């Protein structure tokens, strides 16, 4: 049995203490609500300590901090099971009660079970989910390439249409700030593409001027992106980072408990 200090400490902090706490908490609800806070405290403090203490048991490749990273992935995997169960429950409920849109739930559940089964079959049969030995795609890959990827691209491409309709509706000179937004947005949109070259395309005499204009617009766009935009982004990033640090310390110290369903701060 590997009894490294880091492994033992993690075991005590994240298994022994919670189990003992739950057992004691059966009789004491107040203790039950404190337990997640204790786990959050340790889970938050260990990576912070690992930043400053390079000892192997803490920040090494097999140290406590690295193991916590791995545990997060494992916990997320189990949480995914919970999510899938929820999808199946909701789908089955809609179908059984013939709620509005229930045929779509049939399609959803069919897709879920068929794709999941093909993926599991690929793992169990050691075929994998990529290519068969003869070079053909597995059914799982065929579903991915023929359905999943094109559908993903389709939804992403909606952005182009929504961007246009949002710009048409929102870029109105209602007040000073909106006007500045409008002008800056228009200039950057014009500067990012050879717009003047496009407009001058049917007129050869204007090509040289259009090229010069495009260069100027491009430089103006670069300045807007570099200077006002860069400064504003830096300010927002720094402010948000401080806010995140403050929020993180509140979570670690148990001051912020809303995310646990335990109400506000204390």
* Stretch 219-238 residues interacting with another protein (CB under 8 A): 221-222, 225-226, 229-230, 232-234, 236-238
Of residues 88 through 147, those in contact with another protein by CB under 8 A are 90, 93, 100-101
Binding residue for another protein (CB under 8 A) from 70, 96, 146, 209? 70
Q: How far apart are CA 237 and CA 245, in angstroms?
A: 12
| Adjacent-strand bridge partners of 187 | none
Binding residue for another protein (CB under 8 A) from 114, 117, 192, 209? 192
Residue in the block written with tokens 């930043």: 51
Exposure b/e, 3-15, CB count within 10 A at least 16 = b: eeebbeebeebbe
Q: Using DSSP, state whether 99 is helix, strand or coil.
A: coil
Angle between helices 64-96 and 29-52 (to 10 degrees): 130
Region near another protein per CB under 8 A, out of 6-14, 57-65, 120-128, 132-140: 57-65
Binding residue for another protein (CB under 8 A) from 24, 107, 114, 163? 163
Binding residue for another protein (CB under 8 A) from 22, 24, 53, 92? 53
CB of 13 or CB of 217, closer to another protein: 217
248 binds another protein (CB under 8 A): yes
CB of 12 or CB of 192, closer to another protein: 192
Q: How far apart are CA 104 and CA 133, in angstroms?
A: 36
């Amino acid at each position: 049995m590997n009894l490294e200090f880091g492994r033992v400490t993690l075991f005590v902090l994240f298994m022994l203490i919670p189990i003992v706490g739950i057992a004691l908490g059966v009789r004491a609800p107040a203790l039950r609500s404190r337990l997640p806070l204790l786990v959050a405290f340790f889970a938050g403090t260990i990576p912070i300590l690992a930043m400053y203490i390079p000892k192997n048991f803490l920040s090494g490749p097999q140290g406590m901090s690295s193991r916590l990273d791995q545990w997060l992935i494992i916990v997320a995997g189990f949480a995914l099971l919970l999510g899938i169960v929820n999808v199946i429950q909701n789908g089955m409920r809609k179908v059984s009660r013939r709620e509005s849109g229930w045929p779509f739930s049939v399609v959803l559940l069919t897709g879920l079970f068929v794709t999941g089964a093909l993926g599991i079959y690929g793992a169990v049969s050691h075929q994998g989910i990529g290519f068969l030995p003869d070079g053909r795609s597995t059914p799982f890959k065929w579903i991915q390439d023929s359905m999943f990827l094109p559908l993903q691209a389709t939804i992403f491409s909606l952005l182009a249409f929504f961007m246009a309709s949002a710009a048409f509706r929102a870029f109105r000179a209602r007040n000073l700030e909106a006007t500045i937004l409008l002008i800056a947005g228009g200039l950057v949109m014009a500067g990012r593409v050879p717009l003047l070259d496009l407009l001058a395309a049917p007129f050869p005499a204007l090509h040289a001027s259009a090229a010069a204009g495009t260069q100027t617009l491009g430089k103006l766009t670069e300045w807007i992106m570099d200077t006002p935009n860069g400064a504003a982004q830096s300010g927002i990033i720094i402010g948000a980072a401080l806010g995140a640090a403050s929020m993180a310390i509140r979570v670690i110290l148990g001051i912020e408990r809303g995310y646990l369903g335990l109400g506000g701060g204390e």
